Chain A
Amino acid sequence: QSTVRSGSGQTDPSRGPYIAVITNRSTTLVIRGFMLFSIGVFLALVLNLLQVQRNVTLFPPDVISSIFSSAWWVPPCCGTASAIIGLLYPCIDCRLGEPHKFKREWSSVMRCVAVFVGINHASAKVDFANNVQLSLTLAALSIGLWWTFDRSRSGFGLGVVIALLATLSTQLLVYNGVFQYTSPDFLYIRSWLPCIFFAGVITMGNIGRQLALYECKLMSEKTHQD
């Protein structure tokens, strides 16, 4: 448009360097992945603490260090898994050609995270009469979470598949003695694990989609500017 422009060797002058970096596609992917990873690590640490509280009602001073030192690889694993899930969800949406339109706002995402933490809290703090009741309640809560915040078939399917896979792998780990729970009750663990995994998958997917949406907005803005 500007015909009198003489110096054209510089960078795009209409945008600052910051914006230029942001709009780079692979960079955003890495940033997104890193954000999801850190969210996953953080949630894993906090929720692990909640689960430990179920068995240790009051912490003597030494317990905290043992929590953080014991299975050190659990939080990174959770972080990686959440990064994968969070990137997978928008990707699948894109592939299926049905973009997710339901409640795409950060406030809704925060609500979803809060409910997820609440489900964990309930499973850790509330005393249930038996394991069947616990699993039924948690399952209902997880489905409710999906219905409230997701409502997409792909989300449900992916959630179920990943939850089953994760439960299976966890059980394998426990069998092989790599990892063990504070409570040795095998049935107890099996009952709540899939539901928590499912809710976690839905939550991370929600976050991932929202982040992707943000990126999309940025991209479209860029094209608009061009």
Chain B
Amino acid sequence: MTVRERLREKISAAFYRHGLLCASYPVPIILFTSASILACCYPLLRLPLPGTGPVEFTTRVRDYTVPSHEPQGDLGEQPDWYRGPPVAYIQPVLVKAAVSPWDSTLVPVDVFRSPLGRVFSLLEEIRNHVHDDGSGIRSLEALCLQVTDLLPGLRRMQRVLPEHGCLLVSPGNYWQNQRELFDSDPDLLKTVHQHEPKGLHTSATLRDLLFGVPVKHTGVSLYSRKRVVTYTITMVLGSYDARFLSSLRARLRQLHPSVNCSLREDHMVHVHFKEEIGMAELIPLVTTYIILFAYIYFSTRKIDMVKSKWGLALAAVVTVLSSLLMSVGLCTLFGLTPTLNGGEIFPYLVVVIGLENVLVLTKSVVSTPVDLEVKLRIAQGLSNESWSIMKNMATELCIILIGYFTLVPAIQEFCLFAVVGLVSDFFLQMFFFTTVLSIDIRRMELADLNRRLPAEAGMPLPKPGPLRPREAPPPPRPSPHTITLQTPAFRNLRLPKRLRVVYFLARTRLAQRFIMVGTVIWIGILAYTDPAGLRTYLAAQVSEQSPLGDGGAGGLPPHLGVAPVFPGPGGDPVGTLSVLPAPAEPTPLPENQSQGHHGAPGEGVPLVPQISWGAEDEEGWRRLSFRHWPSLFSYYNITLAKRYISILPVIPITLHLSPREAIETRHPQDTRHPPPPSLKTNDLPADLTLYKVAALGLAAGVLLVLLLFCLYRVLCSRNYGQNGVAHGRRRRGDLPCDDYGYSPPISEISPLLLCGHSMDIECLASDGMLLASCCLAGQIRVWDTQTGDCLTVIPKHGLRRSSSSGCWEQRDGWDAVGVAEPENLGGGTEPGGGVFDEGEGYPLRRRTTPRPALFENQPDLTPLIDTNFDSQPPSHLLLTPPRDGFDFGGLVEKAYLEHEPPSPGLTASYPSPLSGPPPQRRRSLGYIQPPAPQGQETPDWESAVWAMELRGNLIAAGRSNGKLELWDAVEGSLRCSNEDGVSGITALAFLNNRIVAARLDGSLDFFTVDINKPLGLLQYRGPPGRSNMPPSPCYSSEDVISCQLTRSVQCAHQKPITVLRAAAGRVVTGSQDHTVRVYRLEDSCCLFTLQGHSGGITAIYIDQTMVLASGGQDGAICLWDVLTGSRVSHVYGHRGDVTSLVCTTSCVISSGLDDLICIWDRSTGIKLYSIQQEVGCGASLGVISESLLVTGGQGCVSFWDLNFGDLLQTVYLGQSSDGQGVRQLVVLNNAAIVCDFGSELSLVYVPSVLEKLD
């Protein structure tokens, strides 16, 4: 044995043990895993929330030094980005200028022309400032940030923004910093405005950049009321020199003293910018995410053969995601701070880690033998795949290790994350996913058992010892750790209570609501804290309110000193609410609120525009867009993302210009400007923008909704399942068909139970008003469908009729005998007799040697006997000689009941023209009546009712001895009977006054019912024909009803007739011989023989519109044109037999043995979608209206919306759910449904549905 093999075996053993562990203790393991995930993700709490707002940090100017690159432990309050020198130092010089005193001779342009003109001299001053101390001469040229070219795409800004030199921005840039250009500019506003981008622009515009204050605060406007012009000269410095700056500050202050300025100058603010995600960067990111989701989708699509596909897919995704989170958390814990953009590398990490292992595990576990115990299956599946999993993991680790040695820091970091992610993913796979898988497999097994029970009914008892070779054959080599074991004990089928929690969550949508609330809160926080968001907006609003409220009082400062409501993070002490004293005119007069457009004071005194400095001027840059600085730098291809700039305290400059100066600098064209029309237009532009934004947003929202709606209509029309076979599939797995601990939705539908039959109900017939049912004991009951009252019992309770005479006799304990019969029978059977095969359509394992010992002391099994004869595939029966017995096996654990031909006499009483084919419909328990204990009855009367039809108040009953009887449904009297045939009647059709009976030997008899003396209820049945006396020997009445055999088609089919349907004047028969025949009802002439199936016909549907559908054992469904006999379409829909077929005007609904309900388009034959039913749900179907389908399940009926395949409601028929399936389902005219539910009938009215349909 090589090392490799030994290693392999060791790994396999370890995985096997691990699988056992996981499957044995699922809950503790899941708890443990969740705890470890949470523990590993705990460090993530320290990471900031995603958001793009910049962060500030304030330091004092005095002892400022450039922070070092190394983190310093002692300064705890320093943020971790505050390291190394900033990108730049910003030195704003805030200029406020006004022409004072204001003269009425001045034109509006004078408000800003001369103040702006002063910028050139100021610039000159700043540029020429030289500081000279002992260490050397310093000028701005040496300190400032030197910039090179603008970006190539910005040619039109080239004339405005500086290039190849100092980054010094001021309004002078509009005129290339040349006074001459300024002076010769006829329209300053136009020059300023021509650089503005067209349309809406939310980020920093050029005007913002050059003026350095928001547009509405500049005062450069013809309609300015305050007549104070504010602008900023922004110096961007590459290095910090405190002495130069202070000398510059002193110089400027000396030249232009600001009288009442009390701005603080001792704080500098560092602003750190986060990663900014632009549109262009978002596109590749979005692409990678789309690819990632496609990958996840395609991967999880492969999960199959499990109970809840979506649950497992979710578990797989959770596994991968939480392993990534764990990896990041662990890395953070051990001091490795992620420098990579998490969002960017995340998809690649997911792809590297992959979902493959999870899928491989699922596949392997699913492919283990189904009948093993769950934990052994898990263990085996794990150990089968252990080697490949380990190999893959080792390979991936190797690759990542190689990547680690590329020595590129980014790749190294990625590899580190990937390694930790891989390991934690492995951990989660092994613990979390395996456990989830085991839970899922267990659930599936429980559901599987339900289905398998009837299937294995006919199976022999497993022989002691290992029955089948159970070693799973894994492709490489069988694992040594597969264990063969006994058939697992049938467990209690109740599902665990934990599902109650899940259903509770699902019902109340708790999780969804939590997520929604969380999202709303998060968005709110973001919107509030975002610099461009609510906070600044509120602050601006507050600060704006005051000057507006005080009108043109003029004496007030331009912005009343309401500081930003929320002081910056630096905790600026001045930044609190402090109203500055208005120095010159401290008390504004309220009556001064003039509406004059010049804002002239009421006294007529020439107004002196007041220049005042408030706290908001200290940090005027706060009022700018938070993209102001990034966009300024981005023009020069300098990114501020993840870096910071330091903003130095403002240098305030106050300029007072005389009116004379203003007039001197006036351009000749300036006077042509009209005086401002109205005060009201003042705030209009800003507000207009707001409205524009709102309107556009609203329009976009409406458009989006419309677009989505159109998309939905286009994509999700009824054709969504057109070409897909599997993707329209709906599982019904999550629906509580069983007692899942989940209370069904409160329904107004309550079933009405019709009790009275002592045994299982075999035949049902209804004509809308009345309902006739016949149980295995041969008792026919007639019910009123409106009230649910039992109208008639045939034969009457306690009455029995002597078969020879046909008279009623007293017979006690009929019902009791009926129930007790099986026990007697069991004991009285002769071993070795033929076994009648009752297996429900599965490959039969026939037992030829019965075990008489088991027949003693059998419980009453009658409710468990499955009598769903329609759904059985009789193909294999051809091999067996006809036998009159049956065997119920395995309905409960290891129990079966064998039934023997009751008496030789009975068998002999069958003249039995049939030599080959056995009975197709074996109403076997009908034999219960005749046998030994009661002995002497002739089977003539006591034979079972095999088929029943109800029209008007006539019940037509076909018996196993070939007798056709007509009963009065109301009176319970026998009207006539016909004994022309001897072979048992397997199917009846009653249409108008004709009865068609299909017999066991494949012949088809046509009867005519003639009424001599028409009764009220029978009048519509056409004119009375020949009056023949009823052949009934004993019964006579005035109502003369005769039933005459008009034609008998011998050998209508080669093999037994399985289905008989009549509608629209046609009789359609389907047979074992793969053909469907269509007869005309009037003359019993065979019109067509339809061939096309490759198996026996199991289901036929025909209705008044002459549509004919047939389904066969081959799973095929054919649609035929009854008029021409041509095949319209032919589709394969089921694995196994088609058990029932119903058509509506637009679609065909079929159900099969594979528990699938398929809905087909009737015209094209394309499958619209299919519904996966709970296993073991009956195959009964009914259509209430065009869009309402009803199906029977285990103890319940479900209503489905046919248009969308949605489950509308599930109605539980009883409290107990002992696996009693609904086997027959009859839809009545008044939309009530009668289902055969064991020995009881359930009447379900669907009033709500009717209302909805109307």
Most-contacted residue by chain A among B406, B1088, B1124, B1129 (CB, 10 A): B406
Q: List the B residue with the shortest CB-CB distance to A137.
A: B406
Query: Is there contact, CB below 8 Å, between A16 and B1164?
Result: yes
Query: Is there contact, CB below 8 Å, between B1125 and A125?
Result: no
Within 8 A of A (CB), among B326-368: 344, 347-348, 351, 354-355
Residues of B within 8 A of A126 (CB): 408, 410-411
Query: Is there contact, CB below 8 Å, between B153 and A62?
Result: yes
Q: Residue A137 contacts which of B409, B411, B1091 (CB distance < 8 angstroms)?
A: B411
Query: Is there contact, CB below 8 Å, between B348 and A58?
Result: no
User: Of the 9-residue stretches A29-37, A78-86, A116-124, which lies at the interface with chain B?
Assistant: A116-124
Chain A's nearest CB lies how many Å from the CB of B252? 32
Residues of B within 8 A of A176 (CB): none
- Does A184 lie at the interface of the complex (its beta carbon under 8 Å from any beta carbon of B)? no
Q: List the B residue with the shortest CB-CB distance to A122.
A: B411
Q: Residue B1129 contacts which of A13, A118, A137 (CB distance < 8 angstroms)?
A: A13
Most-contacted residue by chain B among A13, A53, A64, A136 (CB, 10 A): A13
Q: CB-defined interface of A33-56 with B at 8 Å, one 1/0 digit per residue?
A: 000000000100111011011001
- Does A153 lie at the interface of the complex (its beta carbon under 8 Å from any beta carbon of B)? no
Most-contacted residue by chain A among B276, B294, B301, B344 (CB, 10 A): B294
Query: Is there contact, CB below 8 Å, between B344 and A1?
Result: no
Residues of A within 8 A of B250 (CB): none
Query: Is there contact, CB below 8 Å, between A127 and B410?
Result: yes
Q: List the A residue with the shortest CB-CB distance to B630.
A: A58
Residues of A within 8 A of B1229 (CB): none
Within 8 A of B (CB), among A145-169: none
Query: Is there contact, CB below 8 Å, between B408 and A128?
Result: yes
Query: Is there contact, CB below 8 Å, between B291 and A13?
Result: no
- Does A71 lie at the interface of the complex (its beta carbon under 8 Å from any beta carbon of B)? no
Query: Is there contact, CB below 8 Å, between A4 and B1131?
Result: no
Query: Is there contact, CB below 8 Å, between A59 and B280?
Result: yes
- Does B1166 lie at the interface of the complex (its beta carbon under 8 Å from any beta carbon of A)? yes
Chain B's nearest CB lies how many Å from the CB of A67? 7
- Does A223 lie at the interface of the complex (its beta carbon under 8 Å from any beta carbon of B)? no
- Does A94 lie at the interface of the complex (its beta carbon under 8 Å from any beta carbon of B)? no
Chain A's nearest CB lies how many Å from the CB of B1125? 4
Chain A's nearest CB lies how many Å from the CB of B140? 26
Q: Residue A63 contacts which of B153, B302, B1089, B1166 (CB distance < 8 angstroms)?
A: B153
- Does A7 lie at the interface of the complex (its beta carbon under 8 Å from any beta carbon of B)? yes
Query: Is there contact, CB below 8 Å, between B723 and A22?
Result: yes
Residues of B within 8 A of A50 (CB): 284
- Does A99 lie at the interface of the complex (its beta carbon under 8 Å from any beta carbon of B)? no
- Does A220 lie at the interface of the complex (its beta carbon under 8 Å from any beta carbon of B)? no
- Does A14 lie at the interface of the complex (its beta carbon under 8 Å from any beta carbon of B)? yes
Q: Residue B355 contacts which of A45, A67, A107 (CB distance < 8 angstroms)?
A: A107
Query: Is there contact, CB below 8 Å, between B283 and A133?
Result: no
User: Of the 9-residue stretches B633-641, B935-943, B1061-1069, which lies at the interface with chain A?
Assistant: B633-641
CA distance A217 to B347 in the complex (A): 31
CA distance A176 to B915 in the complex (A): 94
CA distance A125 to B298 in the complex (A): 28
Query: Is there contact, CB below 8 Å, between A56 and B1091?
Result: no
- Does B892 lie at the interface of the complex (its beta carbon under 8 Å from any beta carbon of A)? no
- Does B657 lie at the interface of the complex (its beta carbon under 8 Å from any beta carbon of A)? no
CA distance A56 to B1127 in the complex (A): 67
Given that A110-B298, A127-B408 are known contacts, is A58 also in contact with B276, CB under 8 Å in the complex? yes
Chain B's nearest CB lies how many Å from the CB of A74? 16
Chain A's nearest CB lies how many Å from the CB of B163? 15
CA distance A115 to B354 in the complex (A): 12
- Does B1207 lie at the interface of the complex (its beta carbon under 8 Å from any beta carbon of A)? no
Residues of B within 8 A of A1 (CB): 1091-1092
Given that A14-B1130, A63-B153 are known contacts, is A121 also in contact with B284, CB under 8 Å in the complex? yes
Given that A56-B151, A60-B151, A107-B355 are known contacts, is A6 also in contact with B1125, CB under 8 Å in the complex? yes
Q: Residue A59 contacts which of B281, B284, B406, B407 (CB distance < 8 angstroms)?
A: B281
- Does B722 lie at the interface of the complex (its beta carbon under 8 Å from any beta carbon of A)? yes
Within 8 A of B (CB), among A1-16: 1-7, 13-16
Query: Is there contact, CB below 8 Å, between A58 and B351?
Result: no
Q: List the A residue with the shortest CB-CB distance to B287.
A: A46
Q: CB-defined interface of B301-320 with A at 8 Å, one 1/0 digit per residue?
A: 11000000000000000000
Q: List the B residue with the shortest CB-CB distance to A67.
A: B280
Within 8 A of A (CB), among B617-649: 630-631, 634-635, 637, 639-641
Interface size on B, residues (CB 8 A): 64
Residues of A within 8 A of B281 (CB): 53, 59
Residues of A within 8 A of B565 (CB): none
Q: CB-defined interface of A94-114 with B at 8 Å, one 1/0 digit per residue?
A: 000000000001110111011
CA distance A105 to B850 in the complex (A): 52
Query: Is there contact, CB below 8 Å, between A7 and B723?
Result: no
Residues of A within 8 A of B410 (CB): 122, 125-127
Query: Is there contact, CB below 8 Å, between A19 and B723?
Result: yes
- Does B288 lie at the interface of the complex (its beta carbon under 8 Å from any beta carbon of A)? yes
Query: Is there contact, CB below 8 Å, between B1088 and A107?
Result: no
Query: Is there contact, CB below 8 Å, between A114 and B635?
Result: no
Chain B's nearest CB lies how many Å from the CB of A150? 16
CA distance A113 to B288 in the complex (A): 9
- Does A26 lie at the interface of the complex (its beta carbon under 8 Å from any beta carbon of B)? no
Query: Is there contact, CB below 8 Å, between B351 and A6?
Result: no
Given that A58-B630, A107-B299 are known contacts, is A13 also in contact with B1125, CB under 8 Å in the complex? no
- Does B665 lie at the interface of the complex (its beta carbon under 8 Å from any beta carbon of A)? no
Given that A57-B637, A114-B291, A137-B411 are known contacts, is A2 also in contact with B280, CB under 8 Å in the complex? no
CA distance A60 to B637 in the complex (A): 9
CA distance A89 to B203 in the complex (A): 49
- Does A178 lie at the interface of the complex (its beta carbon under 8 Å from any beta carbon of B)? no
- Does B828 lie at the interface of the complex (its beta carbon under 8 Å from any beta carbon of A)? no
Residues of B within 8 A of A117 (CB): 284, 287-288, 291
CA distance A6 to B1087 in the complex (A): 13
- Does B1126 lie at the interface of the complex (its beta carbon under 8 Å from any beta carbon of A)? yes
Q: List the A residue with the shortest CB-CB distance to B1127.
A: A2
Chain A's nearest CB lies how many Å from the CB of B937? 47
Q: Residue A49 contacts which of B280, B1088, B1092, B1126 (CB distance < 8 angstroms)?
A: B280
CA distance A125 to B288 in the complex (A): 14
Query: Is there contact, CB below 8 Å, between A49 and B641?
Result: no
Given that A18-B722, A107-B355 are known contacts, is A125 also in contact with B344, CB under 8 Å in the complex? yes
CA distance A140 to B295 in the complex (A): 23
Most-contacted residue by chain A among B288, B347, B640 (CB, 10 A): B288
CA distance A57 to B633 in the complex (A): 11
Residues of B within 8 A of A114 (CB): 288, 291-292, 295, 347-348, 351
Within 8 A of B (CB), among A122-144: 122, 125-129, 133, 136-137, 140, 144
Query: Is there contact, CB below 8 Å, between A6 and B284?
Result: no
Given that A63-B153, A114-B288 are known contacts, is A144 also in contact with B635, CB under 8 Å in the complex? no
Q: CB-defined interface of B846-865 with A at 8 Å, one 1/0 digit per residue?
A: 00000000000000000000
- Does B1165 lie at the interface of the complex (its beta carbon under 8 Å from any beta carbon of A)? yes
Within 8 A of B (CB), among A165-208: none
- Does B154 lie at the interface of the complex (its beta carbon under 8 Å from any beta carbon of A)? yes
- Does B1090 lie at the interface of the complex (its beta carbon under 8 Å from any beta carbon of A)? yes
Residues of B within 8 A of A105 (CB): 298, 302
- Does A24 lie at the interface of the complex (its beta carbon under 8 Å from any beta carbon of B)? no
CA distance A6 to B279 in the complex (A): 63
Most-contacted residue by chain A among B279, B280, B1089, B1121 (CB, 10 A): B280
Residues of B within 8 A of A57 (CB): 637, 639, 641
The 28 listed contacts between A and B (C-beta, < 8 Å) are A4-B1091, A5-B1127, A6-B1124, A7-B1124, A13-B1128, A13-B1129, A19-B723, A46-B283, A53-B281, A58-B278, A58-B630, A58-B637, A58-B639, A59-B279, A59-B634, A60-B151, A63-B153, A105-B298, A106-B301, A107-B302, A107-B355, A109-B298, A110-B298, A113-B291, A114-B348, A121-B288, A125-B344, A127-B408
Supply 13 further A-B pairs (C-beta < 8 A) apart from A2-B1090, A127-B408. A2-B1130, A13-B1129, A13-B1165, A57-B641, A58-B630, A60-B634, A61-B203, A106-B294, A106-B298, A107-B301, A111-B354, A114-B288, A117-B288
Q: 3 shortest A-B CB distances, which residue pairs?
A: A110-B295, A107-B298, A106-B298
